[in-house]
Structure 1
Amino acid sequence: MTNPLDPAALDAAIENVHRAGLPGLFAEVRDGEQVWCGAAGVADVTTGRPVTAGMRHRVGSITKTFTAAAVLRQVESGQIGLDTPIGRYLPKLVPGERGDAITVRMLINHTSGLAEYLPYAYPSFKAFPVVAETRPQSLDDHRFTRFDPTELIEMGVTAPAAGAPGGTPGAYSNTNYLLLDQLLEQVTGTTTEQYITRDVIERAGLRDTGFPAGPNVDGPHSQLYEAWFGMIDPPRDYSVYDMSWVGPSASLISTVTDLNRFYGLLLAGEIVSPSSLAQMQRTVPVVSQEGRTGDYGLGLHPMGGPDQGTFWGHGGTVWGAGALAMTRADGRRQMAVAVNMQRWNTLDPSGKPQPHPIDDALATLYRVAMYG
C-alpha cells in the first residue's frame, strides 16, 4: 500500500517535470488529513508569471466523470434506463438499427462503436491524433467557431463505425458523450451545463468548478500551450478558445482541490448511490485515442493494482491543457495534477509519438503522489 506523504519528495518530483520541459504544472495530493499542494514553472512564458496550486484550469475529459454521474442520478430516479437503447430517446440522432442496438451504458463506457467526430470537424487532423499527415491548422481555424452539437454528432454517427455496438475492446469517442449531453437535456428539460451544475457540482460543494460562459477561463489561470507533436514551435497559447468543439462533455473548468473533493465524495457513495458507483466501476477494455488499450468503466478508469490499491479517476486533455485526477478506492489517498502544455512528443515517420523526458518525469510524480 501507500506510504505517508513525503513533501520533500513531492517538491522534487514536481520540479523535475518542469525541468524536463513543461512550462508549468500544479498539484494537490492528500492522504487522510495530510495535504500537500505544489507548483513548478510559469503560467506565462512571456512574463514569467508563476503557476500557483490554486489556479483554475481546463480539465478536459475529466468532465466525463461528472456527465456519467449525472446520467446515473437520472437512472436512479427512473428517468433513464442504463440498458435502454438510445434510439428510444434520440431516434433522430441515432436512427434505425444502430439506435436499437446502442444502449445508454454503451455510450458511457465507449462500446457503442460510434466513431470520433473530431477529424471531420477539424479537417487538418485527418485520423486524429497520431498520424504523420496530421497538421495543426484547424486549431487556429476554429478558435472562435461555434459548433452545433447535433452537427458534430451527425459527423460521428455517419462516419465509418469504430466497431459493433457492445463489442470489445471499445473505442474512446467524444461522440458518445455529446449524445449523453443531448439525452440529459431531453429528460431534465434544462441544459446539460445547468443540470450537471445543480445536481453534481453544487451537490459536491465545489466552489471553483463550472462550465465556461465564453472562450475565456475566468479567475486566476495559466496560459495553455499547445505543441501539436512539435509542429507548433514554440508552442502557442490556446487558453482563449470556444469550447463548443467538445461541448459539455469536456469543457469543465476546475481546480486540483475541487477535483480531489469530487472524486473523494464520488467514491464514498455521496454523489451517486453505492449501487450506481458499483456500475461505474464495472470495466471493459477500451482503446484510447492514443491507441492504448486499458480498462474503462462508466466515466471512470482504474490505475494501480491489488498490491498497491486500486485508484479510480480520469484524465483530460484539451488544446494546451491537461489534467489527471485519481483517488484510491478507500478514498484516503488522492492526487490531482494540472499541466499547461500538451502533445510535447514529436512523431516518428510512421506517426508514432517519440519518448520525451516529460513523460518519465510525470510518471515519477504520479508514482510518488499515489504510492510514496
Structure 2
Amino acid sequence: MKKALDRAALDAAVDHVHRAGQPGIFAEVRAGDQVWRGAAGVADLATGRPADAGLRHRVGSVTKTFTAAAVMRQAEHGRIALDAPVGRYLPELVPGERGEAITVRMLLNHTSGLAEYLPYIYPSLKPFPVLADTRPQSMDDHRFTRFDAVELIRLGVAAPPAGAPGGAPGLYSNTNYLLLGELLARVSGTTAEECITRDVIERAGLPDTVFPTGPEVEGPHARLYEAWFGMIDPPRDYSVFDMSWVGPAASLISTVADLNLFYAQLLAAKIVSASSLEQMRRTGPVLSQEGRIIPYGLGLHPAGEPGQDTFWGHGGTVWGGGTLAMTRADGERHVVVAVNMQRWNTLDASGRPRPHPIDHALASLYRVAMYG
C-alpha cells in the first residue's frame, strides 16, 4: 500500500540530525509521484551558507553500483563473461593461479579474496582495534597526490590474501573495483570513467553526476568536514581532494535527485536488463569495512528493518562526506541522504566508535524516510 509522504516528520527528522551535531544534511525522498526535498544546517561553516538539497556531493562507494552496472552492460554485449577468470582479461595485474581462480563475478561481489590496498597509502585506515593508535596525517600528505590505479591494484594483489577466491564470507575491498575499472577500460577501448559515463550516467539522464577531473567539486557543493574520531578538532575541510585514490570504486560526484533517479531506473531494469538486475540482487555474506557481515550482491546490497519492505542501494563515505541511497524493491519509494561530516564518534579503550546522538538521529531519519 502506498503511503503519503509525511513532510512535517521528514523536516523534523532532518533538523534533528543537524541538532545532534551534524553540520549539514540534505536529502530527497520520493513515493510514487510525490517528492520531498529537505536540508538543515550549513554547507560551509566559515560562511554560514545554508545546506540545500540541490548541492553536488562526493558520494563515495555509491560509485560501485555505477561501475557494476557498466560491467553488466558490457557483459550483455558479450565483451565480458562474468564467470571468466580475470586473468583472461588482465593477466599482468592478477597473474598465475590467482588470475585463473578469481572471476569477474568475484570482483563484483567482493569474494575474490584480494586484500584492501587503502591501509598501504592511508595508514589511518588500519582495521579495528588498532584504529585508536592511528593519526590522520596521511590525509593531508595525500590531499593532492595523483595515484595510478595500476599501482594501487598491485598493492592489493601483493598484500596477504584476505581469503580464498570464492570463499565466504567475502571481504569488501576497493581493490576489486579498481580492477573492474581496468577491465572496463580494456574491453571498451576508453577509460573506465568514460565508459561508465556513456553507458550508465548518460543512459540514465543524470545532469549533475560526473567523475572529478581535478581535486575540486565543480558547481554548488557543501564543504566536507572530517573529524577522524575526535582526533581532528575542530573538523577539517577536505572538500578539495584528489580522488584518484579510489577512482571508479568511490570518486563519483552526484546529487540526491540524480541518485534517486539512477536507482529508480536501475531497479526498473532500464539501465541493465532484467536478467542482469536479478544477478546484481543475488547476495552472499561479505565482511564490511566496519567489521560487520552484510549481504552483498553485484554492486548492490539490501537494507531494511525486520518485517518491513526491503530496499536496495549502496552507502558511501569519503573524507568528510557520507551518502546513503536506497530504493524499495518494488520501486515505489526512493531515499537519498547526504551529510557533510564523517567519523563524528569518539573511540573507546578498544578503539571502537562510541555511540553518538548523530547515529540515533540518522537512524530515526532513515526509518521515517523509508517507512513513513
TM-score under structure 1 length normalisation:
0.98
| Per-residue deviation, 1:125 | 3.7
Q: What are the Cα deviations for residues 216-274 of structure 1, in whole angstroms up to 9, with x where unaligned?
A: 00101000000111110110000000000001221000000000000000000000000
Q: How far is the alpha carbon of 1:2 from its aligned partner?
A: 6.5
SS of 1:322's partner is strand
1:69, 1:85 → 2: CA distance? 19
Indicate whether 1:184 and 2:184 are aligned.
yes
Please tell me whether residue 76 in structure 1 is matched to residue 76 in structure 2.
yes
Question: 2-side partners of 1:354 and 1:158: how far apart?
Answer: 34
Aligned to 1:216: 216
Q: Distance in 1 between matches of 2:266 and 2:28?
A: 18
TM superposition shift of 1:107: 0.3
Is the Cα–Cα contact under 8 Å of residues 129 and 352 in structure 2 kept in the other structure? no
AA aligned to 1:16 is: H
Task: Report the counterpart of residue 243 of structure 1 in structure 2.
Answer: 243
CA shift at 1:304, angstroms? Answer: 1.8
Q: For residue 285 of structure 1, give the secondary structure of its aligned residue in structure 2.
A: strand
Corresponding position of 2:117: 117
Task: Give the fraction of aligned pairs with identical amino acids, expressed as a percent.
Answer: 76
Q: Secondary structure at the match of 2:294?
A: strand
Provide the C-alpha distance between the structure 2 equivalents of 1:130 and 1:54, rounded to a whole number of angstroms: 38
Amino acid at match of 1:185: A
Partner amino acid for 1:145? T
* Shift in alpha-carbon separation, 1:76–1:94, aligned structure 2, 3 A: same
* Partner AA of 2:371 in structure 1: Y
CA apart distance, 1:128: 7.0
Give the C-alpha shift of residue 351 in structure 1: 1.0
CA distance in 2, matches of 1:344, 1:236: 12
Per the alignment, in what secondary structure is the counterpart of residue 204 of structure 2? coil
TM-superposed deviation, 1:130: 6.5
User: Does structure 1 retain, via aligned residues, the 8 Å contact 2:129–2:351?
Assistant: no
Deviations 1:323-347 (Å, cap 9, x if unpaired)? 0000001111010011000111111
Unaligned runs of 5+ in 2: none
Q: Give the Cα separation in 2 of the matches to 1:123 and 1:25.
A: 29
| Partner of residue 154, structure 2 | 154
Measured on the aligned residues, the alpha-carbon RMSD in Å equals: 1.2
Say yes or no: does 1:272 pair with 2:272.
Answer: yes
Answer yes or no: is the 8 Å Cα contact 2:124–2:131 preserved in 1.
no
Specify the code of the residue in structure 2 equivalent to 1:20: A
Tell me which amino acid in the other structure corresponds to 1:258: D
The one-letter code matched in structure 2 to 1:304 is G
**Aligned AA (2:51):** V
Partner of 2:326: 326
Residue equivalent to 1:36: 36
Name the aligned partner's letter for residue 114 of structure 1: L
In the other structure, the counterpart of 1:341 is: 341
2:166 maps to 166
Q: Secondary structure at the match of 1:370?
A: helix
Looking at structure 1, the residues matched to 295 and 168 of structure 2 have their Cα atoms a distance apart, in angstroms, of: 11
Q: 1:130 to 1:60 in 2, by over 3 A?
A: farther
1:207 aligns to what? 207
Gaps of 5+ in 1: none
Checking the alignment, whether the CA contact within 8 Å between 2:61 and 2:315 is kept in structure 1 is yes
Question: 2:66 aligns to what?
Answer: 66
Q: 1:260 and 2:271 equivalent?
A: no
Q: Per-residue displacement from partner, 1:193-223 (whole Å, max 9, x unpaired)?
A: 1111111000000001000110000101000
Per the alignment, in what secondary structure is the counterpart of residue 314 of structure 1?
strand
**SS state at 2:166 partner:** coil
Work out the CA distance in 2 between the residues paired with 1:126 and 1:295. Answer: 23
1:126 shift after superposition: 3.5
Runs (4+) of structure 1 moved beyond 6 Å? Answer: none
What is the alpha-carbon distance in structure 2 between the residues aligned to residue 121 and residue 187 of structure 1?
Answer: 28
Deviation of the 1:349 alpha carbon: 1.7
CA apart distance, 1:350: 1.1
